């Protein structure tokens, strides 16, 4: 039997389909009531005050840096081991991307390396930090917030991998990814490879009312009917800022609502799968470590191998489509062209030469996972 096991897969059921059909039969395909309903449910789920649905997470990151006032030449720190959009948003606003290395065990932006980088420069040199909950493992944002307070920096938590994940802070309070208690803004993606599939889609979360208002304005052309300087009549609106059309539709939001409703179950299943991988690989294969007091939402399950390319090819021959997350951003041709060099970020480059993401999604069956595990173990025992 030929297997066909991808590394990730969306989970669409009849409830999702019914909800979308209901919206298609309603008066609004976009800019109707479902968007706000999705936003409210999302706020409740992650525990933040405000959620702003956007067309995708990249648009969300773009609006986030603009709302925080990023100007051309401003410097922002992020990790090289993330999807390119985490850094590209800084470039959209004309800012400079500075990379700090990752921790070799959690694969997250290293707090120590970030601190060293910040302290090696005069105060005011950097404007913000974009930590990423890589693979679904939440960053300890309490530490980053202390650092940010000392150096007057903002924080955007790229939580695209981590809806449903959390870390426990020093008071042992669970801090859900993207709740914005320690970050200024959180960002989520609803691309089908992520936990919640909307086709395309994203969410910005914040607890700050001023940021919320700015984000709403920027999402829809900078146009508003509120707080206007003059009012000429019912038709009148003002374009107060140069904004965008980064809206999510009601069609997508209706899918988001039913997808969100089963996210907690999906994350629990992902953790069951992760536990089985860990048990099978313990003391044989290195995998992403799980620090105490954190709940990994497991967008990915990442292992390391000395012969990564051979393992990748071997799994493919067996119908297992593992993936590599990610090529370090500073080595991508665009970033090379604007002056970034290899060999600056040793842990990230070493990680990239060894990493492999194994199949991880709620509908992965035990039989399929056992097949994946047996093939990985066959390979290392060869």
Residues 6+ apart with CB under 8 A from 129: 76, 77, 78, 109, 114, 144, 147, 148, 153, 154, 155, 156
In angstroms, give the least distance from the CB of 85 to ligand PLP: 4
Reading across the β-sheet that carries 126-130, which strands appear in turn? 50-54, 202-206, 185-189, 154-158, 126-130, 75-78, 96-99
What is the 3-state composition of the chain as percent helix, strand, coil, each rounded to the nearest 5? 40, 15, 45
Question: Three-state DSSP class for 256?
Answer: helix
Stretch 326-365: interaction string toward ligand PLP, x if CB under 6 A = ----------------------------------------
Binds ligand PLP (CB under 6 A): choice among 93, 160, 196, 285: 160
What distance in Å separates the CA atoms of residue 121 and residue 295, rounded to the nearest whole number? Answer: 34
Among 83, 182, 361, 371, binds ligand PLP (CB under 6 A): 83
Q: Which stretch binds ligand PLP (CB under 6 A): 29-37, 78-86, 315-323, 343-351?
A: 78-86
Which of 56, 205, 207, 252 is in the footprint of ligand PLP by CB under 6 A?
56
Query: CA dihedral in degrees (141, 299, 295, 103; nearest 10)?
Result: -50
Shortest spacing between CB 198 and ligand PLP, in angstroms? 9
Nearest distance in Å: CB 352, ligand PLP: 15
Compute, in degrees rounded to 10, the torsion defined by CA atoms 348, 279, 166, 258: 110
Q: Of 23, 58, 207, 259, which lies in the binding site for ligand PLP, with binding defined by CB under 6 A? A: 58
Establish if 161 lies at the interface with ligand PLP (CB under 6 A). Answer: yes
Q: What is the nearest approach in angstroms of ligand PLP to the Cβ of residue 217?
A: 21
In the complex, the smallest distance separating the C-beta of residue 1 from ligand PLP, rounded to whole angstroms, is 32
Give yes or no for residue 86 binding ligand PLP (CB under 6 A): yes
Among 20, 48, 57, 155, binds ligand PLP (CB under 6 A): 57
d(CA 49, CA 37): 14
Nearer to ligand PLP, 62 or 127 (CB): 62
Minimum distance from residue 134 beta carbon to ligand PLP (Å):
7
Is the CB of 161 or the CB of 270 nearer to ligand PLP? Answer: 161
Q: What's the Cα-to-Cα distance from 90 to each of 60, 69, 186, 262, 298, rounded to whole Å? A: 12, 11, 15, 33, 26
DSSP H or E segment with residue 40:
helix 33-46
| Number of residues near ligand PLP (by CB under 6 A) | 14
Q: Pairing state of beta strands 166-168 and 294-295? A: antiparallel
Based on CB atoms, which residue is closest to ligand PLP, 85 or 118?
Answer: 85
Q: Does 202 bind ligand PLP (CB under 6 A)?
A: yes
Work out which of 39, 158, 184, 250 binds ligand PLP, going by CB under 6 A: 158
| Residue spans of beta strands (DSSP E) within 131-228 | 154-158, 166-168, 174-176, 185-189, 202-206, 223-224
- Name the minimum Å distance from CB 228 to ligand PLP: 32
Angle at 266 between CA 261 and CA 268, to 5 degrees: 120
Q: For tokens 């090696």, what's the residue?
A: 120
Angle, in degrees to the nearest 10, between helices 33-46 and 250-261 = 30
Binding mask 130-149 for ligand PLP (x = CB under 6 A): --x-----------------
Please, which residue, 187 or 376, has the CB nearer to ligand PLP?
187
Q: How far, in Å, CA of 129 to CA of 153, rounded?
A: 7
CB of 59 to ligand PLP, least distance (A): 7
Would you say 59 or 285 has its CB closer to ligand PLP? 59
Sequence-ordered strand ranges (E) for 134-239: 154-158, 166-168, 174-176, 185-189, 202-206, 223-224, 238-239
247 binds ligand PLP (CB under 6 A): no
Q: Which is nearer to ligand PLP, 45 or 246 (CB)?
A: 246
Provide the binding-site residues for ligand PLP, judged by CB under 6 A: 56-58, 82-83, 85-86, 132, 158, 160-161, 189, 191, 202
């Amino acid at each position: 039997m030929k297997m066909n096991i991808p590394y990730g897969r969306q989970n669409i059921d009849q409830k999702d389909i019914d909800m979308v059909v209901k919206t298609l039969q309603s008066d609004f395909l976009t800019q109707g009531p479902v968007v706000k309903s999705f936003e409210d449910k999302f706020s409740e789920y992650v525990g933040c005050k405000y959620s702003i649905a956007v067309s995708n997470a990249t648009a969300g990151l773009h609006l986030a840096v603009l709302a925080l006032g990023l100007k051309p030449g401003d410097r922002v720190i992020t990790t090289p081991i993330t999807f390119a959009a985490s850094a590209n948003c800084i470039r959209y606003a004309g800012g400079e991307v500075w990379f700090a290395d990752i921790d070799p065990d959690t694969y997250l932006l290293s707090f120590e390396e970030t601190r060293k980088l910040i302290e090696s420069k005069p105060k005011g040199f950097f404007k913000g930090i974009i930590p990423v909950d890589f693979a679904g493992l939440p960053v300890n944002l309490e530490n980053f917030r202390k650092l940010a307070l000392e150096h007057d920096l903002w924080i955007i938590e790229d939580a695209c991998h981590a809806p449903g994940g959390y870390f426990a802070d020093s008071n042992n309070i669970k801090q859900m990814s993207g709740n914005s208690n320690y970050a200024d803004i959180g960002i989520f993606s609803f691309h089908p490879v992520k936990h919640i599939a909307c086709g395309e889609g994203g969410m910005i979360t914040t607890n700050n009312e001023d940021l919320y208002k700015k984000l709403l304005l920027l999402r829809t052309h900078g146009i508003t009917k509120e707080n206007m300087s003059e009012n000429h009549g019912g038709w009148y609106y003002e374009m107060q800022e140069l904004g965008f059309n980064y809206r999510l539709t009601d069609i997508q939001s209706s899918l988001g609502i039913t997808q969100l409703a089963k996210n907690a179950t999906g994350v629990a299943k992902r953790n069951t799968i992760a536990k089985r991988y860990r048990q099978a690989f313990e003391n044989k294969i290195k995998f992403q470590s799980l620090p105490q007091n954190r709940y990994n939402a497991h967008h990915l399950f990442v292992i390391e191998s000395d012969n990564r390319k051979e393992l990748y090819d071997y799994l493919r021959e067996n119908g297992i489509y593992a993936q590599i997350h990610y090529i370090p951003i500073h080595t991508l041709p665009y970033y090379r062209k604007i002056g970034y060099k290899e060999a600056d970020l040793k842990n990230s480059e070493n990680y990239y030469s060894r990493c492999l993401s194994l199949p991880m999604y709620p509908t992965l069956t035990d039989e399929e996972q056992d097949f994946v595990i047996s093939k990985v173990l066959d390979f290392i025992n060869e």
